[in-house]
């Protein structure tokens, strides 16, 4: 089932205030192109779910306009917006079968029984849940419930689909598997999608574009590669890539010294300022083979993460940095640290 007419979704200076002076979202400007999968990320309370509720029509903007294909829908009731919504709880009807859950919205729209049955069968096949059609939803696993909820949202052929942390309740292994299936499903349907997650790696893996929210505002909006390589602020760099933010002294157009003995290669088009701010990720650094090949760093903490150890260390009279090591390092031990030759260092704009 391909949706031939997904919508353009646009937020123009949208704000939502609750109480007398509290802004949940503040002056949001976003343009989401037809068929795009846009992921909203940010810390708890930054406004992600509020944006979904605004699009769904559960709340109305205090200021600004919300456009679907150029038409302001802020005053339209939810049932007139052609928007599908999958809340984090899935909100399935336990007293109905899987097939009846999927067909529920169609029945509310007055779609004929024949067309309801045909569309339900198509979605059961599309979501690979044909064998579950007659099952009660309270007999389903978390992954199965997720697919039923998405099938139900797609049944009414929405032009925009809203997903509020649809994978949050699943165990990590199942989450990874279903994420791939979900993205394939969204690509096949072609629906414009807003997807909320707390998982930065998930956002990077699936998004056409990512909107990073901070205190109700858009801190940065762009494709995953841009956010990773060109973070607009220290907040974005820390949130997206868990980077350490350090000051460095430019010693050439394409090199900057963090401390004597630790020099980062940087893009050559980053201006002429002598003091610049860098985002250093653990993957940008490594333990040098010999003491004279790096700068001394004292290990403060070590965490085994499977493929390597994540070490947090302190350069004497310098910054704290995190880096990976293939071997354990005792807390208090001093090791030589150097930049990886292939490190792609992000320079944060002033």
CATH of 9-234, one of 3.40.50.1100, 1.20.59.20, 3.90.950.10, 3.40.50.300: 3.40.50.300
Q: Which pair of tokens denotes residue 226?
A: 């841009």
Domain borders along the chain are 9-234, 242-348
Rounded to 5 degrees, φ, ψ at 139 are -100, 5
129-182 pLDDT, tens per residue?
A: 999 999 999 899 888 898 899 999 999 889 999 999 888 767 777 777 778 888
Whether the Cβ atoms of residue 55 and residue 111 lie closer than 8 Å to each other: no
- Considering the domain delimited by 242-348, tell me its CATH architecture: Beta Barrel (2.40)
Whether the Cβ atoms of residue 103 and residue 121 lie closer than 8 Å to each other: no
Q: Which of 22-26, 56-60, 185-189, 190-194 has the lowest mean pLDDT?
A: 185-189
Strands, DSSP E only, in 139-227? Answer: 160-164, 192-196, 209-214, 217-222
343 CB contacts (<8 Å, ≥6 apart)? 264, 265, 283, 284, 285
Q: How far is 13 from 11, CA to CA, in rounded Å?
A: 6
Query: Which three-class secondary structure state does DSSP give residue 105?
Result: helix
Residue 336 confidence (pLDDT): 97
Assess whether pLDDT exceeds 90 at residue 127: no
257-316 pLDDT, tens per residue?
A: 999 999 999 988 777 889 999 999 999 999 999 888 899 999 999 999 999 999 999 999
Q: What is the CA radius of gyration of the chain?
A: 24
Helices (H) and strands (E) in the chain, counts: 8, 20
Residue 14 confidence (pLDDT): 98
Other residues' Cβ atoms within 10 Å of the Cβ of residue 255: 15
Residue 174 confidence (pLDDT): 72
Q: How far is CA 20 from CA 23, 44, 53, 62, in A?
A: 9, 21, 20, 12
Q: How far is CA 208 from CA 53, 203, 225, 311, in A?
A: 21, 9, 10, 32
Q: Which pair of tokens denotes residue 228?
A: 């990773």
Tally of residues, the chain:
350
Q: How far is 348 from 237, CA to CA, in rounded Å?
A: 8
Residue 342 confidence (pLDDT): 84
């Amino acid at each position: 089932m391909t949706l031939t007419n997904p919508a353009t979704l646009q937020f123009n200076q949208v704000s939502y205030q609750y109480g007398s002076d509290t802004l949940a979202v503040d002056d949001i400007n976003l343009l989401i192109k037809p068929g795009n999968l846009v992921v909203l990320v940010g810390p708890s309370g930054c406004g992600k779910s509020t944006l979904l509720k605004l699009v769904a029509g559960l709340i109305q903007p205090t200021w600004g306009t919300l456009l679907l294909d150029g038409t302001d829908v802020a005053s339209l009731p939810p049932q007139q917006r052609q928007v599908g919504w999958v809340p984090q709880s899935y909100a399935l009807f336990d007293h109905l079968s899987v097939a009846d859950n999927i067909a529920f919205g169609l029945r509310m729209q007055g779609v004929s029984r024949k067309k309801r049955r045909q569309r339900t069968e198509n979605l059961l096949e599309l979501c690979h849940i044909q064998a579950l059609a007659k099952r009660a939803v309270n007999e389903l696993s978390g992954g199965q419930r997720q697919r039923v909820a998405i099938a139900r949202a797609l049944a009414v052929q929405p032009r925009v689909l809203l997903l509020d942390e649809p994978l949050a309740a699943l165990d990590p292994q199942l989450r990874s598997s279903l994420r791939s299936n979900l993205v394939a499903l969204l690509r096949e349907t072609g629906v414009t999608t807003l997807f909320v997650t707390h998982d930065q790696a998930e956002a990077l893996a699936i998004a056409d574009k990512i909107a990073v929210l901070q205190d109700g505002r858009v801190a940065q909006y762009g494709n995953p590669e841009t956010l990773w390589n060109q973070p607009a602020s220290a907040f974005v760099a820390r949130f997206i890539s868990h980077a350490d933010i350090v000051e460095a002294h430019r010693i050439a157009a394409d090199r900057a010294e963090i401390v004597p003995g630790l020099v980062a290669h940087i893009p050559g088009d980053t201006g002429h300022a002598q003091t610049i701010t860098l985002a250093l990720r653990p993957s940008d650094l490594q333990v040098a083979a010999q003491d004279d090949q790096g700068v001394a760093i004292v290990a403060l903490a070590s965490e085994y993460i499977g493929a390597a150890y994540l070490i947090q260390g302190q350069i004497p009279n310098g910054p704290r940095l995190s880096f990976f090591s293939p071997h354990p390092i005792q807390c208090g031990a001093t090791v030589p640290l150097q930049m990886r030759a292939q490190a792609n260092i992000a320079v944060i704009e002033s």
